[in-house]
């Protein structure tokens, strides 16, 4: 895709050369502000690191990831989206992977999201054989409230259409991310209240602060 610049912020396709700075950005931003990670008290960015790096690089190779840079500040990274293709066989693949990973907080999140995606089964629900999965969206604190997150999501939809994806999905663990996706026309097709997702002792596994009370699967047809 061609890069686009608005108000000094350029959005372009992410390359593997961007990944070291993308990874550092997520450590300082995404993992510090995402509600589940924030509530864990753990260094989630260090958990399952090898598997995450491989997964993220595989997405970058598909040409479906984006970076936003500030042209008025020496091209500083101020936002990103990691996204990639998903297929019906990935539902079972994700379940097996999540159950076989080292047991830690990040793995518990993966297990919950795997459960949700199997319950939603978007491939069967919409009669499609692939979709574009928006995995992580992160915006620098200095840029929040300025529409950059929405611009990144809208640009990703354009990428999805250009690459022939019939739909785009995002798993929103944050109230605010779900609200943003909804403003772009995405619909909630499945949700799970954190208070209802419990361990063997009947205790909620995730207890993020208000207003983050549930995880939502948001979808839009492209």
Q: CA dist 216 to 24, 133, 169, 213, Å? A: 27, 14, 10, 10
Enclosing H/E stretch for 221: strand 214-221
Model confidence pLDDT, tens digit, residues 128-157: 999 999 999 999 988 888 899 999 999 999
pLDDT confidence of residue 139: 95
pLDDT confidence of residue 46: 84
Per-residue pLDDT of the chain (222 residues; tens, 9 = 90+): 878 999 999 999 999 999 999 999 999 888 888 999 999 988 888 888 999 999 999 999 999 999 999 999 999 999 999 999 999 999 999 999 999 988 899 999 999 999 999 999 999 999 999 999 999 999 998 888 889 999 999 999 999 999 999 999 999 999 999 999 999 999 999 999 999 999 999 999 999 999 999 999 999 999
Cα pseudo-dihedral 67, 73, 76, 77, rounded to 10: -40
The rounded distance, in Å, linking the Cα atoms of 218 and 113 is 13
DSSP for 34-93, please give it.
SHHHHHH-S-GGGTTHHHHHHHHHHHHHTT--EEEEEGGGTTEEEEEEEEEEE-TTHHHH
Strand partners, 109: none
- Say which DSSP state 129 is in: S
Place of tokens 């593997």: 16
Q: Where are the domains of the chain?
A: 4-221
Prediction pTM value: 0.93
CATH 3.40.630.30 fits 4-221, yes or no: yes
Enclosing H/E stretch for 202: none
The rounded distance, in Å, linking the Cα atoms of 78 and 100 is 34
Of 180, 175, 181, which is closest to residue 210 (Cα–Cα)? 175
pLDDT confidence of residue 197: 97
Q: CA dist 108 to 14, 139, 144, Å? A: 28, 24, 28
């Amino acid at each position: 895709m061609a890069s686009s610049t608005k108000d000094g912020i350029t959005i372009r396709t992410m390359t593997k050369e961007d990944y070291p700075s993308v990874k550092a950005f997520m450590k300082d931003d995404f993992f510090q502000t995402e509600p589940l990670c924030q509530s864990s008290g753990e260094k989630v960015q260090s958990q399952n690191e090898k598997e995450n790096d491989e997964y993220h690089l595989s997405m970058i190779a598909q040409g479906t990831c984006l970076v936003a840079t500030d042209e008025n500040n020496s091209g500083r990274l101020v936002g990103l989206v990691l996204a990639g293709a998903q297929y019906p066989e990935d539902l079972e693949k994700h379940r097996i992977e999540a159950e076989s990973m080292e047991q830690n907080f990040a793995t518990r999140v993966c297990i919950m999201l795997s459960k949700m995606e199997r319950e939603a089964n978007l491939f069967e629900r919409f009669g499609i054989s692939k979709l574009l999965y928006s995995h992580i969206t992160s915006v620098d604190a200095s840029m929040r409230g300025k529409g950059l997150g929405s611009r990144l999501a809208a640009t990703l939809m354009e990428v999805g259409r250009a690459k022939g994806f019939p739909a785009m999905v995002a798993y929103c663990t944050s109230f605010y991310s779900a609200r943003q996706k909804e403003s772009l026309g995405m619909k909630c097709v499945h949700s799970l209240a954190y208070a209802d997702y419990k361990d063997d002792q009947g205790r909620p596994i995730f207890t993020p602060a208000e207003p983050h009370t549930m995880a939502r699967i948001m979808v839009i047809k492209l």
